Structure 1
Amino acid sequence: MPYPDKLLAEDEDIVRHLHPHWLTLFWPVVRLLLIVGAASFGTAMIPAGRQQGILRMLVLAVALVLLLTLVVVPLLRWRTTHYVVTTHRLLFREGILTRRGRDVGLSRITDVSFRQTLWERIVRSGTLTIESAGDSGATVLRQIPDSDGVQQLLNVMIEEDADRRAQESVSHHEEYYGGRTAPQHYL
């Protein structure tokens, strides 16, 4: 079962599954091109001689370490960061080796706001701040694609969740009392 389907309850559906904005991969790609170019140039500039093989291996080893730390890790970080809006909650997961996550029920969300710089408005990205009832404080999600659209979606989902819960409460009440009116001291 693919992620995040394995985290869902029976009556829960995914509404939107996001990763950080694709521009978070811009600098790792630039670094990839620079490192490959510099390593190619560096190995080509090593003069012929007894040490040429060792020096080329040294340049390639340095390039490999730089590629792992400056390109592969940010790419994996982007790929393993998930923002999932479902019909019941907001799920947030991140981490490559060590995972961190948070689930916030839609019924517990008290406020959703977004912030965008001029550049973020141009590229349709931004920061979402989600306030929820409880002691854990606000959840800040950065580099969200279409942050204003996601904020509006969350507000709609919160309303739909409240309506669903109210409908379930009425259904449960009718089921419990068999269509009869509850005694006055219960109302």
Structure 2
Amino acid sequence: MGYPKGVLGTGEQVLVHKHPHLKMLVMPVLVGVVVIGGGIWLVFPARDLEEPWDTVALASIAGLGLLLLCWLVIAPFVRWRTTHFLVTEQRVISREGVIKRTGLDIPMSRINSVRFERTLFDRLLGTGSLIIESASEQALEFDDVPSVVEVYSAINWQAGERGQQQEPDEADIVPEGDTPSRRKRSKWS
């Protein structure tokens, strides 16, 4: 599934498109295993009940198991799949939700600073939190961004290219005889 249709303006290109890190799905998968295992475990004593009650017990176990799987396993997966984080050359875009859709667009010209935070566990998983300070009063924090350092670099590069970030450091200076078009800006370009 790609990013939501109709999000991009004319000529706008996506540099980064991410879903939240897969660590969001660890707990739903474990819950799914427990629900299925518990359902199987409950089926055996339910089959030994007398005639009308065995069917009632089996139907109740199946119904409750299906309800729990939908609520605790399928819904988080759909939520993860429909959450999008995009960086284009013009803005940062966030979309999330299934029934209630929420969107946020931050133009590159409004970004004051970008930073990331990673715990040791986040570093092992290659994820982290991205904090964007814009013209709004409070910073916006995006948790569980995969490859957060690369996303941070892409936003910094784009915002800096538009003259909104700090002066270029030595890594951004083009060597003599080299042209910017020959350099690779980031892995997203």
TM bucket (normalised to shorter chain) is: 0.7 to 0.9
Deviation at 1:5, TM superposition (A): 4.7
Are 1:131 and 2:139 an aligned pair?
no
Normalising by structure 1, report the TM-score. 0.81
After TM superposition, which residue ranges in structure 1, 4 or more long, deviate above 6 angstroms? Answer: none
CA RMSD of aligned residues (A): 1.5
Distance in 1 of aligned mates of 2:117 and 2:136: 23
Are 1:146 and 2:147 an aligned pair?
yes
Unpaired runs of 5+ residues, structure 2, are: 165-189
Are 1:4 and 2:10 an aligned pair?
no
Equivalence map 1:21-170=2 (5 Å):
21-46=21-46, 47-50=48-51, 51-135=53-137, 137-162=138-163
Deviation at 1:157, TM superposition (A): 1.3
Deviation at 1:159, TM superposition (A): 1.9
Counting aligned pairs with the same residue, the percent is 32
Change (3 A) 1:5 1:86: farther
Q: Which has the higher helix share?
A: 1
Deviation readout 1:7-58 (Å, 9 max, x if unpaired): 1111210001100001111111111111111111111221142110110101
One-letter amino acid of the counterpart of residue 70, structure 2: L
Normalising by structure 2, report the TM-score. 0.80
Distance in 1 of aligned mates of 2:119 and 2:89: 30
Q: Is the 8 A contact 1:87 1:161 kept in 2?
A: no
Change (3 A) 1:3 1:120: closer
Larger radius of gyration: 1
Change (3 A) 1:80 1:41: same
**Count of residue pairs the alignment pairs up:** 161
Where 1:7 maps in the other structure, the secondary structure is coil
Instruction: Choose between structure 1 and 2 for higher RCO, CA contacts under 8 A separated by at least 6 residues.
Output: 2
Unpaired runs of 5+ residues, structure 1, are: 164-187
